[in-house]
Amino acid sequence: MGEYFKNIYKAIVTILIGMGVTWRHLFTRAVTIQYPHVKRELPPRSRQKLFVDIDDCIGCFQCARACPVDCIDIETVKAGKEEDLGETSTGQKKRLHVVKFDIDLTKCCYCADCVFPCPTECIVMTPKYEFSTYDRFDLIEHFSAYSAEEAEKLKERDRKEKEALAAARAAKMQAAPKPPSSDKPGPSA
């Protein structure tokens, strides 16, 4: 019986101690903020949405290769001989049209592995975190400066050039005597 009342006494005392803690908290300032109205200032290193300064991009694919989830999709077209694409702000010569530079933010894991290898420091993570959309395809960010038609035109030109080059090579091959190894059947054939 004594044990029973002792237990009740202990329970009440320890609850009161706990209540004391909560009571003291009534008089401290709230740590929460009213989010959509009040926003936290994020530190400059904060890793949120990616941003690509496409004017500085030389199309070197370093970032796409570093990405562990393959969410950067780049397509480039070689600049013509007489074309001058200018320089990046770090002074590198641009030799490629970056006709496609898409980052799939639904796949991105915000690991920042793509940021470090970029030679021109044009791909960066920004502290911008509010980019939810109604359509998930809106989360594929297009950074390329070329419109779809322009990109198509450039790619068409590239294809034609390559075809011409291949034709020229084929013609050369025809003219030259065939290397002996090319018409031998392979060991597994």
Partner 1 sequence: MKKDNLPAAQFEVEVPDTLKTEEMTLNMGPQHPSTHGVLRVVLKTDGEIIKSAEPVIGYLHRCFEKHAENVTWHQVIPFTDRLDYIASMNNNLGYVIGLERMMNLQVNERAEYLRVIVSELNRIASHLIALGTYGLDIGAFTPFLYVFRDRERILDLFEEICGARLLYNYIWVGGVAYDAPQGWRDKVLQFIDYFVPKIKEYNDILTYNKIFIDRTAKVGVIPADVAINYGLSGPSLRGSGVEFDLRKDDPYSIYDRFDFNVCTGKGQMGTVGDTWDRYWVRVAEMYESAKIVRQAAEQLPEGDAKETVPRNIKVPAGEYYMRTETPRGELGYYIISDGGKTPNRVKVRSPAYCNLSVLPAIAPGVMVADMVAIIGSLDIVLGEVDR
Q: Looking at 43, 86, 91, 179, which residue binds partner 1 (CB under 8 A)?
A: 43
Q: How far is CA 109 from the centre of its chain?
A: 9
Around 125, how many Cα atoms within 13 Å sit in the side-chain half-sphere?
Answer: 20
DSSP single-letter state for residue 94 = P
How far apart, in whole angstroms, are the C-alpha atoms of residue 4 and residue 132? Answer: 57
Q: Contact between 164 and partner 1 (CB under 8 A)?
A: no
Contact (CB, 8 A) for 77 and 152: no
Q: Which of ligand SF4, partner 1, none has residue 99 at its interface (CB below 5 to 8 Å by kind)?
A: none
Q: How far is the CB of 36 from ligand SF4 (least distance, A)?
A: 26
**Which positions from 16 through 45 interact with ligand SF4, judged by CB under 6 A?**
none
Point out which residues pair with 96 in neighbouring strands. Answer: 78
Q: How far is the CB of 140 from partner 1 (least distance, A)?
A: 20
Residues 98-137: x where in contact with partner 1 by CB under 8 A, - otherwise, as a string: -----------xxxxx--xx-------x------------
Q: Is 78 exposed, middle or buried (0-12, 13-18, 19+ CB in 10 A)?
A: middle
Q: Looking at 11, 33, 109, 168, which residue binds ligand SF4 (CB under 6 A)?
A: 109
Contact (CB, 8 A) for 131 and 105: yes
No. of helices (H) and no. of strands (E), the chain: 3, 5
**Which positions from 146 through 175 interact with ligand SF4, judged by CB under 6 A?**
none
Judged by CB under 6 A, the stretch of 16-24, 25-33, 56-64, 181-189 that binds ligand SF4 is: 56-64
Binding residues (CB under 8 A) for partner 1: these are: 7, 10-11, 13-15, 17-18, 20-22, 31, 42-43, 45-47, 66, 68, 109-113, 116-117, 125
